């Protein structure tokens, strides 16, 4: 009995965490979520103190400064029992699906950066992010949409002479940039272990730089990045409007290029389209080879499903692969996620064969939202109708309550019912993403405080469901 209670309690806490994750992903965007929040796991709830595990001290620290207040607020609302959040460092056990090939960095080396020496490979590793052992060239499925980026990455990884410098990869989310970067790093480390390779996300780069400034340790910071053979910075769009960090990056960049070292970068847009990046830096980013990964096509999605099924050791019937490749077109991460869900289902119900019926059943929520495809336009129209205002008024700059409130509700519903990002939603209302975020929070609060609000939301959701 007692055990069952504990078990149920754990399940509900894990469920709560899952829901909270969805919301965090919505608020902070997929990239930030994947980098910082997804790696967290629930540990325990004791006397009102909720403990969450982070895989490294670095992450723990980052989450505490950037996200813990928000996590606390959302959780408190879901579960008033929770009075305090606590973060602990715990590396995932060996049972985890993804094995990291790097040792957990020691907090010491991450915070101070002073014990870095250019010739020591291990120290270099500990200052950078870990590489995912599964992200190799061998595991990368090549198709029309990514063959150019793949070829460029291979060339850079294989040639000892600098051919393209910098190599700049860009694409939308979940299309393989990080995978290719890790593949290059692992290839070089294997074939040429004397070269120092540092892979780091732009967010970490920024974080380290800010810390170096704070602890007046910028010399060590500079030394750390200027003495590597290959420097990779992932998601450089994060440096937007961070002018000091951009300056530092600019100098590091020039110094590495001058001394014939390789630089590899990724971003979600081409250098010219990156907002908030200084022009002189843009032109540097453009000066080597720029390669994009295009949205996937059916063949690639089909090929990836087959490859991943093989790796997971499951038999994926062709009609199921076809069905998934047709339906899940957004990105490879989602495609992979859906396959893992089916695989888990079939493994847990031991030997449960994978069929089209079973797939449709297991993925029904996901498929429903794909089929339904509620658009922001529809939401605006329905909400405007419901409150007797026009769509024009909703998009206008008027702030009167009778217009502003419906506008906030429409923003909230757009966030809930579509997969659009905050900036995308903002654009539809001629507002920026912070306004949308504020609206979402406001409506969430009102739903709790005001029953007529929750009724309106329910009615609107129902109206939009058809
Ligand atoms: P991005 O950095 O562009 O957001 P990722 O590199 O994180 O995307 O890729 C998302 C997921 O999709 C990863 O699990 C990655 O291994 C997988 N993936 C992406 N492209 C391919 C590909 N061509 N072949 C196999 N897996 C891929
Ligand atoms: Mg990435």
Give the domain ranges of the chain.
13-103, 119-293, 298-372, 376-465
Is 166's C-beta closer than 6 angstroms to any atom of ligand 1? no
CA-300 nearest atom, ligand 1: 23
CA-146 nearest atom, ligand 1: 23
Is 141's C-beta closer than 6 angstroms to any atom of ligand 1? yes
- What's the 34 CA to ligand 2 centre distance in angstroms? 9
Tell me whether domains 13-103 and 119-293 share a fold.
no
pLDDT at 3: 38
User: Which whole number is the average pLDDT over 106-118?
Assistant: 25
CA-332 nearest atom, ligand 1: 12
Is 178's C-beta closer than 6 angstroms to any atom of ligand 1? yes
pLDDT at 220: 87
Is 171's C-beta closer than 6 angstroms to any atom of ligand 1? yes
pLDDT at 222: 87
**Where does 119-293 sit in CATH, by number?**
3.40.50.300
Among the ranges given (62-66, 287-291, 306-310), the one the predictor scored with the smallest mean pLDDT: 62-66
Is 339's C-beta closer than 6 angstroms to any atom of ligand 1? no
The model's pLDDT over 39-48, given as tens digits with 9 standing for 90+, comes to: 898 888 888 8
Q: Which of 201, 186, 187, 176 is nearest to 336 (CA)?
A: 176
Give the mean pLDDT of the chain: 84
pLDDT at 350: 65
pLDDT at 24: 87
Q: Which CATH architecture group holds 298-372?
A: Orthogonal Bundle (1.10)
Among the ranges given (4-18, 190-204, 220-234, 333-347), the one the predictor scored with the smallest mean pLDDT: 4-18
- Ligand 1: residue whose CA is nearest its atom 6: 176
Give domain 376-465's CATH superfamily. Answer: DnaA protein, C-terminal DNA-binding domain (1.10.1750.10)
More confidently predicted of 90 and 455: 455
More confidently predicted of 105 and 23: 23
User: Which whole number is the average pLDDT over 314-327?
Assistant: 94
The whole-angstrom separation of Cα 365 and Cα 412 is: 20
Is 71's C-beta closer than 6 angstroms to any atom of ligand 1? no
pLDDT at 7: 43
- What's the 130 CA to ligand 1 centre distance in angstroms? 16
Is 173's C-beta closer than 6 angstroms to any atom of ligand 1? yes
Is 176's C-beta closer than 6 angstroms to any atom of ligand 1? yes
User: Which whole number is the average pLDDT over 17-35?
Assistant: 83
Q: Does domain 13-103 have CATH number 3.30.300.180?
A: yes
More confidently predicted of 239 and 370: 239
Percentage of the chain beyond pLDDT 90 is 53
- Ligand 1: residue whose CA is nearest its atom 5: 176
Q: Has residue 13 got a pLDDT over 50? A: yes
Q: Has residue 103 got a pLDDT over 80? A: no
The whole-angstrom separation of Cα 199 and Cα 146 is: 21
The whole-angstrom separation of Cα 353 and Cα 347 is: 9
Q: Has residue 117 got a pLDDT over 80? A: no
* pTM (two decimals): 0.61
CA-172 nearest atom, ligand 1: 3
Q: Has residue 119 got a pLDDT over 50? A: no
CA of 304, nearest ligand number: 1
- What's the 84 CA to ligand 2 centre distance in angstroms? 32
- Ligand 1: residue whose CA is nearest its atom 11: 333
The model's pLDDT over 151-198, given as tens digits with 9 standing for 90+, comes to: 999 999 998 888 899 999 999 999 999 999 999 999 999 999 999 999
- Quick one: pLDDT band at residue 98, thresholds 50, 70, 90? very low
- What's the 181 CA to ligand 2 centre distance in angstroms? 9
pLDDT at 372: 64
pLDDT at 341: 92
Q: Which of 67, 236, 97, 247 is nearest to 167 (CA)?
A: 236
- Quick one: pLDDT band at residue 347, thresholds 50, 70, 90? confident
CA-31 nearest atom, ligand 1: 4
Q: Has residue 238 got a pLDDT over 60? A: yes
User: Which whole number is the average pLDDT over 265-290?
Assistant: 95
Is 292's C-beta closer than 6 angstroms to any atom of ligand 1? no
User: Which whole number is the average pLDDT over 307-317?
Assistant: 92
pLDDT at 120: 29
Is 140's C-beta closer than 6 angstroms to any atom of ligand 1? yes
In terms of phi and psi (left: phi > 0; alpha: psi -120 to 50; beta: otherwise), the region of 198 is beta
- Quick one: pLDDT band at residue 14, thresholds 50, 70, 90? confident
Is 35's C-beta closer than 6 angstroms to any atom of ligand 1? no
Q: Has residue 418 got a pLDDT over 60? A: yes
The model's pLDDT over 205-218, given as tens digits with 9 standing for 90+, comes to: 998 888 888 888 88
Q: What is the 3-state secondary structure (H, E, C) of the chain?
A: CHHHHHHHHHHHHHHHHHHHHHHHHHHHCHHHHHHHHCCCEEEEEECCEEEEEECCHHHHHHHHHHCHHHHHHHHHHHCCCCCEEEEEECCCCCCCCCCECCCCCCHHHHHHCCCCCCCCHHHHHHHCCCCECCCCCCCCCCCCCCHHHHHHHHHHHHCCCCCCCCEEEECCCCCCHHHHHHHHHHHHHHHCCCCCEEEEEHHHHHHHHHHHHHCCCHHHHHHHHHCCCEEEEECHHHHCCCHHHHHHHHHHHHHHHHCCCEEEEEECCCHHHCCCCCHHHHHHHCCCEEEECCCCCHHHHHHHHHHHHHHHCCCCCHHHHHHHHHHCCCCHHHHHHHHHHHHHHHHHCCCCCCCHHHHHHHCHHHHHHHHHCCCHHHHHHHHHHHCCCCHHHHHCCCCCHHHHHHHHHHHHHHHHHCCCCHHHHHHHCCCCHHHHHHHHHHHHHHHHHCHHHHHHHHHHHHHHCC
pLDDT at 106: 30
Is 304's C-beta closer than 6 angstroms to any atom of ligand 1? yes
pLDDT at 96: 28
User: Which whole number is the average pLDDT over 125-144?
Assistant: 82
Pocket test for ligand 1, best of 99, 131, 179, 302 (most atoms within 8 A of CB): 179
Among the ranges given (21-25, 177-181, 291-295, 387-391), the one the predictor scored with the smallest mean pLDDT: 21-25
Among the ranges given (76-85, 90-99, 376-385, 412-421), the one the predictor scored with the smallest mean pLDDT: 90-99
Pocket test for ligand 1, best of 175, 236, 307, 310 (most atoms within 8 A of CB): 175
């Amino acid at each position: 009995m007692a055990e069952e209670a504990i078990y149920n309690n754990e399940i509900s806490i894990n469920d709560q965490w899952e829901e909270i994750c969805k919301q965090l992903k919505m608020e902070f965007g997929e990239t930030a979520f994947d980098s910082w929040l997804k790696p967290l796991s629930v540990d325990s709830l004791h006397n009102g103190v909720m403990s969450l595990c982070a895989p490294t001290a670095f992450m723990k620290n980052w989450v505490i400064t950037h996200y813990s207040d928000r996590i606390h607020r959302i959780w408190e609302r879901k579960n008033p029992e929770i009075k305090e959040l606590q973060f602990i460092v715990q590396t995932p056990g060996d049972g985890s699906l993804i094995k990291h090939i790097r040792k957990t960095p020691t907090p010491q080396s991450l915070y101070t950066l002073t014990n870095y020496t250019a010739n020591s490979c291990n120290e270099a590793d500990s200052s950078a992010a870990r590489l995912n052992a599964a992200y190799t060239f061998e595991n990368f499925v090549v198709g029309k949409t990514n063959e150019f980026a793949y070829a460029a990455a291979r060339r850079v990884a294989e040639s000892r002479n600098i051919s393209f410098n910098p190599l700049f990869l860009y694409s939308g989310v979940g299309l393989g940039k990080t995978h290719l970067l890790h593949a290059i790093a692992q290839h070089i480390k294997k074939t040429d272990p004397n070269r120092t390779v540092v892979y780091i996300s732009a967010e970490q780069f920024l974080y380290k730089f800010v810390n170096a400034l704070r602890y007046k340790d910028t010399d060590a910071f500079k030394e750390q990045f200027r003495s590597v053979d290959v420097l990779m910075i992932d998601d450089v769009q994060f440096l937007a409007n961070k002018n000091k960090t951009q300056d530092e990056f600019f100098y590091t960049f020039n110094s590495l290029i001058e001394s014939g070292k390789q630089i590899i970068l990724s971003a979600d847009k081409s250098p010219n389209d990156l907002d908030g990046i200084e022009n002189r830096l843009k032109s540097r980013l453009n000066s080597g080879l720029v390669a994009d990964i295009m949205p996937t096509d059916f063949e690639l999605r089909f090929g990836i499903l087959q490859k991943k099924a093989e790796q997971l050791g499951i038999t994926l019937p062709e009609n199921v692969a076809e069905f998934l490749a047709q339906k899940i077109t957004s990105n490879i991460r989602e495609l992979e996620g859906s396959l893992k869900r089916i695989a888990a289902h079939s493994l847990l119900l031991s030997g449960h064969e994978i069929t089209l019926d079973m797939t449709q059943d297991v993925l029904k929520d996901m498929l429903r939202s794909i089929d339904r495809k509620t658009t922001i336009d529809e939401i605006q129209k329905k909400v405007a109708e419901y409150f007797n205002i026009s769509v024009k008024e909703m998009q206008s700059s008027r702030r009167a309550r009778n217009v502003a409130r419906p506008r906030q509700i429409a923003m909230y519903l757009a966030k809930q019912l579509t997969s659009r990002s905050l900036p995308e939603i903002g654009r539809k209302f001629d507002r920026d993403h912070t306004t949308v975020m504020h609206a979402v929070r406001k409506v969430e609060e009102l739903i709790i405080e005001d029953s007529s609000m929750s009724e309106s939301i329910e009615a609107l959701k129902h109206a939009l469901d058809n």
